Chains A and B, each alone.
Chain A
Amino acid sequence: MAVRDIHIYPDPVLKQASETIDSFNQATDELVQDLIDTMVAAGHSVGVAAPQIGVNRRVAVVDVSQSKQGRENNHGLLIMINPEILERSGAKAIREGCMSVPDYTGNVTRAEEILVQFFDRRGMPRVIRATGFEAIAIQHEIDHLDGFLFLDRVSSLKTDIFRRKKH
């Protein structure tokens, strides 16, 4: 029940792999609530992962329903505990930024469609198929749980139309 400060790189918490949640207790529930509160307080950003509030646990929240890009196609508020991507297909590039890496953006290519498995707030297993912007947001947040930033995923500098293609 608290809005937490967003940790900014080079805080080492952002570059560590997070630990799996093995019990759904009050501490887990409070972490989830803090993530939601922090996401909403940050001008309703589309997601926050636990390392961004300084906690190396595999928990992230995603909600693209309030954003222009995700409004039409989403699962609402997703609370993802121990999420794992089971399948990926397609590719979609967008320019990403991150609250933990201020003042920098880069073109990142991610899967356009994913099948993702996770536990919800009550510890119930769920599997969803996400596409488009929501899929990208989920991949960005799960990357945080593995210690990756979008800086590790930048696929091109500016307009890559001028680059030679690989055949």
Chain B
Amino acid sequence: MNHIALTIIGRDHPGIVARVTEILYRVGCNIADSSCSILGGQFAMILIISHPEYTDRESFGDAFDPLEKEGMSVFLRTLQPGGEAAPELAGEICLISVYGSDKPGIVYPVARELGNRRINITDLNTKLVGSAERPVYVMMIEAVLPPGMDLQEIAAIMADLQQKLQVDISVRDITPVEF
């Protein structure tokens, strides 16, 4: 099986998922992992798909043309063998909430602190909320700590950052419980 990352984005309206998955079904693609969400007024789809023969965009021929005619953007990226397998992440999982009055330079300083410490961001959402006069920026980060690092350590780092950036930050453990 060849694995391909497929990204589709376009103005949101009901029926997009049906249109896309009908095409994939008809050409014989399997959908493995996928994540789709509304960002602004756009619907963004990211899917890892596989096909017994297709290896790249050429293989699909004009299959995606109808979507592009409707104004959707379609991108394909062929994965290296093994690129579809999720890595084993061993450490504690935490959720970091960062929010405050909107201003430039919130995401990067937080991401830099995490990256420098080998903390792996596994999910990140940001959203601009509040009123036009008082916009508020909200960022939610799900991250896996490197083995051996505990929550206190990252909480202390974020407390420092909260002072520097003048935003509110909180950290909590969301390591899943297996029953």
Interface set of A (CB-CB < 8 Å, partner B): 45-47, 67, 69, 94-99, 105, 133, 137, 140-141, 150, 158-159, 161-162
Contacts and interface: CB of A to CB of B under 8 A. Distances in A.
B123 to A, nearest CB: 6
Contacts of B174: 95
A45 B178 contact: yes
Nearest to B175: A95
A98 B177 CA distance: 8
6 contacts: A95-B177, A96-B179, A98-B178, A158-B125, A159-B140, A161-B140
A132 to B, nearest CB: 12
Contacts of A162: 125, 127
Given A159-B95, A159-B140, A161-B138, A96 B127 contact: no
Interface of B, secondary structure class, is: strand
Interface residues of B, number: 13
B14 interface: no
A69 B142 contact: no
Q: Point out which of A46, A141, A158 has the most chain B C-beta atoms below 10 A from its C-beta.
A: A158
B123 A158 contact: yes
Contacts of A105: 176
Q: Point out which of B140, B177, B179 has the most chain A C-beta atoms below 10 A from its C-beta.
A: B179
B176 A95 contact: yes
A98 B179 CA distance: 5
B177 A69 contact: yes
A46 B127 CA distance: 37
Interface in B151-179: 174-179
A96 B142 contact: no
A110 B95 CA distance: 20
B125 A159 contact: yes
Q: Point out which of A97, A99, A162 has the most chain B C-beta atoms below 10 A from its C-beta.
A: A162
B179 A97 contact: yes
Smallest CB-CB A-B distances: 4 pairs: A105-B176, A97-B178, A95-B176, A159-B140
B178 A99 contact: yes
Nearest to A64: B177
B127 to A, nearest CB: 6
Nearest to B138: A161
Contacts of B178: 45, 96-99
B92 to A, nearest CB: 11
Nearest to A140: B179
Given A159-B95, A159-B125, A162-B127, A94 B140 contact: no
A155 to B, nearest CB: 14
Contacts of A47: 179
B123 A45 contact: no
A94 to B, nearest CB: 6
Given A95-B177, A137-B179, A159-B125, 16 more contacts: A46-B177, A67-B177, A94-B177, A96-B177, A96-B178, A97-B176, A97-B177, A98-B179, A99-B179, A133-B177, A140-B179, A141-B179, A150-B179, A158-B125, A159-B140, A161-B138
